[in-house]
Amino acid sequence: MRSVTPTLAARLAALVVSAATCAANAQLGGARAPSAGLSTNGALTAHALAQPTGVDSVLNVTTSVDDGGTTIREYTTQAGQIVAYTWSGPTMPDLHTLLGARFEAFQTGAASSPSRHAGHVARGDFIVESGGQMRGYIGRAWLPNALPAGVSIDDLR
């Protein structure tokens, strides 16, 4: 068995910290990190694959599966700005991670929702729709003013 040298261990540690830092910055409205599919806390794990969405190739989609088995799709412009997320699966995704700085405003809006199982929160520059029942959650979050011309949230699945 080959041993890991201190230099190699230091480089690997730096790579993990760098990947976690990039992933932590990938949030609605932010820039997509090159390694956003990697996370030290498992919020978004492997299975990340960028591909054209067919929406006139103006958006890229990166699909990830979180630790709870929920599929999360991140939609980015050609410039790398994250303009939307959609999700479906057996658990709710970590909305704090996905919404970033907008999470507190989302919580405030969600607290005033009459339903605990479905909600529509529109705050300033973003909208979040979420619903479902146990083991069947769906939702989406987006920046309406940042979607490219000709793209509707209904185009994103």
Q: Where are the domains of the chain?
A: 6-155
| All residues at 6 or more sequence positions from 72 whose CB lies less than 8 Å from its CB, including other chains | 44, 63, 64, 65, 66, 85, 86, 87, 93, 98
Strand residues in the chain grouped as ranges (E):
50-52, 59-65, 71-77, 82-89, 118-123, 126-133, 136-142
Q: What Cα–Cα distance (Å) separates residue 142 from each residue in 28, 39, 88?
A: 7, 22, 15
pLDDT at site 10: 36
Per-residue pLDDT band for 26 (boundaries 50, 70, 90) equals: confident
More confident residue, 11 or 125: 125
Mean pLDDT of 78-97: 95
The number of CA neighbours under 13 Å toward the Cβ of 1 is 2
Flag whether the pTM goes above 0.95. no
Who has greater pLDDT, 15 or 146? 146
- Mean pLDDT, the chain, as a whole number? 76
Residue type, 6: P
pLDDT score, position 34: 56
